Amino acid sequence: MSQLNPIAAPYTTAPIDWNAIRADFPLIAGHDLIYFDNAASSQKPKVFLEAMENMVKNSYANVHRGVHRLSQQATDQYEAARKTVAKFINAADEAEVVFTGGTTDSINTLAYSFGEAHIQPGDEILLSGMEHHANIVPWQLMAERKGAHIKVIPVLENGSLDLEALDALMGPKTKLLSLVWVSNSLGTVNPIPYLIQKAHAYGIPVMVDAAQAAPHMPIDVQAIDCDFLAFSAHKMCGPTGLGVLYGKRHLFEPLPPYRGGGDMIDRVRFEKTTFQGLPFRFEAGTPHILGAVAFASVLAYLSNIGMRQIEARERQLSSSFRQQLQQNFPEVNAIGTAADSVSVVSFLVKGHHPMDVGVLLDNQNIAVRTGHHCCQPLMDRFGIPGTVRASLAFYNTEEEIERFFVALRKTIQLLR
Q: Does residue 127 belong to the site contacting ligand PLP (CB under 6 A)?
A: no
Residue 180 lies near ligand PLP (rule: CB under 6 A): yes
Write each residue from 27 to 46 as x if it is in contact with ligand PLP (CB under 6 A), else as -, in one continuous string. Answer: ------------x-------
Q: How far apart are CA 84 and CA 99, in angstroms?
A: 12
Give yes or no for residue 160 binding ligand PLP (CB under 6 A).
no
Interaction of residue 212 with ligand PLP, rule CB under 6 A: yes
Footprint (CB under 6 A) of ligand PLP, residues 220-239: 232
Does residue 103 bind ligand PLP (CB under 6 A)?
Answer: yes
C-beta closer to ligand PLP: residue 211 or 229: 211
Which one of 128-136, 284-292, 319-327, 398-406 is the stretch in contact with ligand PLP (CB under 6 A)?
128-136
Which of the stretches 72-80, 102-110, 296-304, 385-393 binds ligand PLP when contact is defined by CB under 6 A? 102-110
Backbone angles phi, psi at 128, to 5 degrees: -125, 165
| Residue 267, SS3 per DSSP | strand
226 annotated active-site: no
Residue 58 makes CB contacts below 8 A (sequence gap 6+) with none
Task: Verify binding: residue 369, ligand PLP, rule CB under 6 A.
Answer: no
Could you say which of 102, 257, 279, 336 contacts ligand PLP (CB under 6 A)?
102
Least CB distance from residue 41 to ligand PLP, whole Å? 8
For 25, other C-beta atoms within 10 Å of its C-beta total 20
What's the closest the beta carbon of residue 354 comes to ligand PLP, in angstroms? 17
187 versus 205: smaller Cβ distance to ligand PLP:
187
By CB under 6 A, name the one of 132, 175, 198, 313 that touches ligand PLP: 132
DSSP 180: E
Element (H, E) at 370: strand 369-371
The dihedral of CA 120, 122, 125, 131: what is its sign?
A: positive
Q: Which of 209, 311, 314, 400 binds ligand PLP (CB under 6 A)?
A: 209
Closest CA to 333 of 369, 357, 312: 357
Task: Kindly indicate which of the ranges 24-32, 208-216, 289-297, 349-357 contains the residues binding ligand PLP, using the contact rule CB under 6 A.
Answer: 208-216
Contact 285, 99 (CB under 8 A): no
Cβ burial of 77 (10 Å; 0-12, 13-18, 19+) is buried
Residues 249-308, interacting with ligand PLP (CB under 6 A): none
Whether the CB-CB separation of 347 and 391 falls below 8 Å is answered with no
Closest by CA to 239, choosing from 291, 188, 195, is: 291
Residue 211 contacts ligand PLP per CB under 6 A: yes
- Cβ proximity to ligand PLP, 215 vs 257, nearer residue: 215
Coil, strand or helix at 352: coil
Tell me if residue 333 falls in helix, strand or coil.
Answer: strand
| Catalytic choice (226, 237, 374, 375) | 374
E strands present in 171-297: 174-180, 206-209, 228-232, 243-247, 265-268, 273-275
- Measured distance CA(41)–CA(53) in Å, rounded: 21
Q: Point out the residues that are catalytic.
A: 374
Residue ranges in contact with ligand PLP by CB under 6 A: 39, 102-104, 132, 134-135, 180, 184, 209, 211-212, 232
